[in-house]
Structure 1
Amino acid sequence: MEQLTISQVLDLCGFWPEVLTAYDLEIVAAAPVRKVVRLQTPQGDLALKKFKLTDEELEFSLAAMRHVKERGFTVPGVIRTRDGREYVEHDGVKYFIMEWLDGRESDYGYVLDLANAARGLAKFHEASLGFDAPPCKGKEQWGTWTGHFLERIEEMREWQVLAEQGGTAFDRMFAEEVAYGIQEASRAVELLHASRYEEISKAEQESRGFCHHDYAHHNVLITPQKQVSLIDFDYALCDIRAHDLASLILRNMKSVKWDARTAYFIVKSYFESTAPQEGEERLLHAMMRFPQDLYEAGHFQYVEKNRPADVLESRLRKWSEQTKRRERVLQEFEAGARYVLKHGTIR
């Protein structure tokens, strides 16, 4: 079989084939890896990525990467074009080239990787402090959780009407689950009202940190030295660190069917090298309490309308199957997390 040229590889991946002409690079080979193209050069491998968001969003993403890199956290550096630009734009799509980091994707099912990921998240948040964020609409999320939750409750109420009047299998399943979801979202709002959310948000805003906002296992790389490095800052935003930490816990709760010890293990690992704020466990509880999976299923079905029905139905079934285990964990979470933070061990 005849080997494809580099331009053909880029074209097949949906990349502009001429983008590499803007760089002073000798490309030996190219191959797709997830959403990027891996470029082989005599000096080492690089990653070519395309970005479809706004100029301001890209600048925020690149500025966030530069900031933590300058503070010693391992993220890829950006390779500039011949004329010193950080990216190239063609037909509304922005392209940029980064260093290819040495490491493997983390495996959250492997306890040592999960511990490293939680510890690495704490180090990342420390490195993010003092960020001079470039202006970008939607990236400043300080103190917005309550408003977002209330808006999503209203959306779910609208979808409830659509589901009750619809005739699909998804409609029937969603109609059965959404009342409980609205109740859970309301409980999340109540938790925020009964927490130190405003004080913690104000304090962290003054420290000027930010969240990665997509701490999925494939964005968390484990280096040969067992350190954590991070890629894909597309969704980075300015918000309290509990946003990232709660998301990491939730990702693992779904995969281990809401095992409480896993949640406490993540909390323990994260706070081994950074001090908790008083009442932070309630903010984690509030974010975990919000029925994000149910909300996203409804959003995909009734707003975006671009997901296969069987995929969304499967998502609803998993949500329904895990509600009892989920409730048991959430009822005890704050007390269990406080014990971990006080004693440094899981009871």
Structure 2
Amino acid sequence: MIRRMRTRPLPPWMADLVKELLRPPYFLQYLHQHPQSGGSPGDTGEKAATTSPGTPASSAATSRPASRVRDVPRVPHRAAASGSSPVAGASKEARGWTPKPRQDVVPAAHGSAPSARAAADDLPAGPLVERSGRWQHAFRSARIPPAVAKAYGWTVQSAEVGAGVVRVRTKRGVFALKRTDIPPDRVRFMHELTQHLNADGFDAVPAYALTKSGDPFVQRGQAVYYATRWVAGNPVNFSSLPQVEAAAAALARLHESSRGFEPDRESPAWAFDVADLTRRRAEDLRTLLVRAEAARSQDGFDETLLRLAPQLRKDAERSLRILESSPCQAFLKEDAELPGVCHLDVIPSNLVFTPGKRVVLLDLDLATYAPRVLDLGHLLRRVLQAQNWRHEAAYTCFSAYHQVRPLSAEEYLLIHGLLVFPYRAWRVAYTRYRLFRDPAQLDELRAFAEQEPRRQAFLEAYENQLQLRVP
């Protein structure tokens, strides 16, 4: 007995592939698009180019010589209702078949030059048309349903998957679309904060796109999606003093412009208990060191960490003693009366150095009310690590920040306490023992150990210049 096979519909990607393979040749499409023309762009010495999202219209790799179109004999189209019977063996054109023009092929504009908008967005110039099914694949690969574009009212022209975001080019402009697990109220807080900053004259944060219903996010089930204006540039290079200076100035303006900001809804939890945060990290560091000591077969990472253990414990205790001191606690209590908002995720990928040589702050997912020393201390630590704890790097950060608003003696003391804590060693140990193991973790710990003499020398020199000290 022969069973009939059950037919199943093709998956979308395979259906698009079959559709692409069954499309008519390029020259038939051009003849259909220009039925009155005796030739093609080749008649004027130009080339017809296939233009796709992410490909320049003038690219020689995708252009087609005009001769391939000009040498094709014209076949007049016949209407299907003309009443004449097609001759057996005649071509599809002779039988009245009309080739469907490809949506992703357009002739290049004559003498087209990159537009100012395209240059500003760091995207290829030239005509861009929507590729049926292409941008949807980019959305799905980033776990973003294509319906999100409909919620924003976008006519998508192209989409490219980047590091954590999808760059979406639409008729309204270019956006960075992101999937996140943060609640919608936090996205509203970020949007309202951006509006407040822009109204105060601080435009170094990209504006949020609004949906057709006026919301700064789209929610589908438990997932939340939001989009901001695309910012062209590169991550800040912490080894470059000019870029470090621009980053410190941008953070200082963020802290100042956000003072007095009051959201319409409940704000995220504040982060003023710096001593409690450091206490929990110090306790965790001690637990990780015990775990390394108890390992049955110690590897290179365990041995390196245990060699550093005495100094790590000493620095953690010293850091906590500074942050718990009376001057620091009194200042934090006073500073919380008129708080500013801190970014709290100061990493190179969230600081974009633009062609205009300024820094734009991205990703406010962790932003909340906090003492500004958290952002500045985090920036300082990363910059000093990148520059092997050079004094010039710290001076550049402090000088740029000071021009916006000077730091108090208590804030310099707080920053000292934050820098004393062995954050880099704790972080890599936490990742290895609690999250996952990776061979690069040993290299990271060895890099910390190699810089340790210079770090201790810097901390000693820093402490000698403080007006307030903790015994």
TM-score > 0.5 by shorter chain? yes
Query: Aligned equivalents of 2:440 and 2:420: distance in 1?
Result: 23
CA RMSD of aligned residues (A): 2.2
1:258-295 per-position Cα deviation (integer Å, ceiling 9, x unaligned): 11221122111210221222332111111111111111
Rg larger for: 2
Within the alignment, does 1:30 sit opposite 2:164 as a pair?
A: no
State how far apart, in whole Å, the 2-side matches of 1:162 and 1:222 are: 41
Measured in 1, the distance between the counterparts of 2:430 and 2:193 equals 29
Partner of 1:8: 137
Q: Within 2, Cα distance between the matches of 1:195 and 1:315?
A: 35
Question: Which string of whole-angstrom CA distances, capped at 9 and with x for unpartnered residues, describes residues 306-347 of structure 1?
Answer: 3x3312212211111111110000011144577xxxxxxxxx
State the match for 2:103 in structure 1: none
For 1:247 and 1:37, the matched residues in 2 are separated by 28
How far apart are the structure 2 equivalents of 1:218 and 1:162? Answer: 33
Query: Which residues of 2 match residues 102-181 of structure 1 at below 5 A?
Result: 102-133=232-263, 134-135=265-266, 139-142=269-272, 144-166=273-295, 167-169=297-299, 170-181=301-312
Map 1:170-319; keep pairs closer than 5 Å: 170-194=301-325, 196-303=327-434, 305-306=435-436, 308-319=437-448
Partner Cα separation in structure 1 for residue 376 and residue 466 of structure 2: 13
Greater relative CO, 1 or 2 (CA 8 Å, sep 6+): 1
Tell me, yes or no, if the aligned pair for 1:62 and 1:233 is still in contact at 8 Å.
no
Could you state the TM-score of these two structures normalised by the residue count of structure 2? 0.66
- Answer yes or no: is the 8 Å Cα contact 1:7–1:18 preserved in 2: no
| Contact residue 64 and residue 236 of structure 1 kept, 8 A | no
Contact residue 178 and residue 294 of structure 1 kept, 8 A = no
The question of whether the paired residues in 1 share the 8 Å contact of 2:187 and 2:216 is answered with no
Q: Report how far residue 183 of structure 1 moved.
A: 1.2
Aligned with 2:183 (options 54, 63, 66)? 54
SS of the equivalent of 1:282 reads helix
Question: Residues 215 and 248 of structure 1 are in contact (CA less than 8 Å); yes or no, is this contact kept in structure 2?
Answer: yes
Cα distance in 1, alignment partners of residues 456 and 250 from structure 2: 29
Matched residue type, 2:455:
R
Displacement of 1:211: 0.6
TM-score calculated relative to the size of structure 1: 0.89
Quote the residue 1:80 is aligned against: 210
Q: Return 5+ residue gaps in structure 2 as ranges.
A: 1-16, 21-51, 53-132
Deviation at 1:111, TM superposition (A): 2.1
1:223–1:229 Cα contact (<8 Å) kept: yes
Q: Could you report, residue by residue, the CA deviation over 1:145-191 in whole angstroms, capped at 9, with x for unpaired residues? A: 21222222222222222111112423333233233212101101122
Percent identity for Structure 1 against Structure 2? 25
Q: Is 2:231 aligned against 1:95?
A: no
CA contact (8 A) 2:237 2:348 kept: yes
SS at match of 1:47: strand
Higher helix share: 1
